[in-house]
Amino acid sequence: MCLSNVYNQKMDAEHLLLKNVQSIRAEDGRLFFTDLLERVYEFEGALLSADLVNGSVIIDLGRD
């Protein structure tokens, strides 16, 4: 199973939002992330990149 970490704007510890994300869904300008425990997190923002081999997703929430 491939799990990913989600970051806001850049991949570093200070910008880490979520760990162990198993699925991503986008709908009407909102991003939905489901973690390993089936918890769903919702953010308004844009997907910048997803490196699923290395387990990292970078989004832009419009804030630093």
pLDDT (tens digit per residue) in 3-62: 999 999 999 999 999 999 999 999 998 999 999 999 999 999 999 999 999 999 999 998
Domain that holds residue 48: 4-60
How many structural domains does the chain have? 1
CA distance 46 to 19: 18
CA 23 to each of CA 12, 63, 64: distance values in angstroms, whole numbers, following the listed order: 21, 23, 24
Please report the pLDDT score of residue 2 as a whole number: 83
